[in-house]
Amino acid sequence: MTGLSVTTRDVSVRYGAARALDGVTLDLAPGRIHGLLGRNGAGKTTLLSLLASFQRPDSGDVALDGRDPFEDARLMQDTSLMRATGDLAADLKIRDILRLHRTGRAHFDRDLADHLLDRFDIPRRRSLARLSRGQQSVVAATIGLASRAPLTMLDEVHLGMDAPTRQEFTEALLADFAEHPRTIIVSSHLIHEIEHVLETVTILHRGRVVLSEEADDLRTQGTTVTGRADRVEVMTRDLRVVGRRDLGPTREATVLGRPHPAWVTEAERQGLQLGAAPLQDLFIHLTSDRDAA
């Protein structure tokens, strides 16, 4: 089991007059951890729900390992989408919810599920609705991990978890992923917490893919150039500037693309400071309607 590959071709979904997805074309390689980022309403959950066969696109094609997953018994069994709330049966007891997912998932690891639920003192005899929001998220994240689905999607599954709990789940995710490689898609607003976990980053904005790259490339390609505003302007004139911030006479410009070594030398000679733009910054710049070029 090394995971499913994900392909979408010109996928669109409309809810009434609103376009949730608008011509999304995407390729995600199997066996890696992919990040899907976007602001609220960008279409992340809609895109993931297509991969999970919750619904079909109005137009375009979705394929997992080259096949349409909708109503494909094997692909649907091998695909799991977990969100913090909204999909699990709120009125069922935790142990009954676990039993259902054990029934549905061929690779479900009962020991892993028990281990995680015990660790966070989740009562099995209580109904999901009677747990706190953080506990509900723990249940969802646990089922998502323990299902060991070759395509595992965790959509804002951390909601309501406190920081130590999120940390433990990230560690559990990484440990289990190392032992049982599979395709994982993580969606989260806490970008700085998952930044180094991701191998690729895809950013959705208003139903479109604005960026889909290797995380390593993104790190080295995103550069902040800081210094006197006029010098920054001249130096970045021919580069892809995705955002500017001014602090008095000092300007910080975030540019995409790997700067040429000669350019770096020249920039440093002019007293400009170069730094790695955190993913969070790139994300904000790319999804800000005000600043986007």
Instruction: Give the residue among 222, 223, 212, 154 at the shortest CA–CA distance from 183.
Output: 154
Number of residues that bind other proteins (CB under 8 A): 61
Both tokens assigned to 88:
């699990």
Asked whether position 18 contacts other proteins by CB under 8 A, the answer is: no
Q: Which residues pair with 64 in a beta bridge?
A: 6, 67
Residue 213 as a binder of other proteins (CB under 8 A): the answer is: no
Using the rule CB under 8 A, is 123 a contact of other proteins? no
Three-class SS of residue 76? helix
Between CA 183 and CA 214 the distance in angstroms is 15
CB 104 within 8 A of CB 82: no
Q: Binding segment for other proteins among 60-68, 75-83, 246-254, 281-289 (CB under 8 A)?
A: 75-83
- Is 42 a residue that touches other proteins (CB under 8 A)? no
Q: Considering only residues 257, 266, 275, 292, which one is a binding residue for other proteins as defined by CB under 8 A? A: 275
CB of 104 to other proteins, least distance (A): 3
Q: How many CA atoms lie within 13 A of 12 on its CB side?
A: 10
When asked if residue 89 is in the footprint of other proteins (CB under 8 A), the reply is yes
Q: Does 141 bind other proteins (CB under 8 A)?
A: no
What's the min distance (Å) between Cβ of 270 and other proteins?
Answer: 17
Q: Compute the distance between CA of residue 253 and CA of residue 159 in angstroms, rounded to an integer.
A: 32
Rounded alpha-carbon distances, angstroms, from residue 99 to 25, 88, 149, 244: 36, 12, 16, 52
Q: Which CB, 140 or 248, lies closer to other proteins? A: 140
Instruction: Give the binding site for other proteins (CB under 8 A).
Output: 15, 32-33, 45-46, 48-49, 52-56, 71-73, 76-81, 83-89, 99-101, 103-108, 147, 149, 156, 159, 167, 170-171, 174-175, 177-179, 196-199, 215-216, 219-220, 223, 274-276
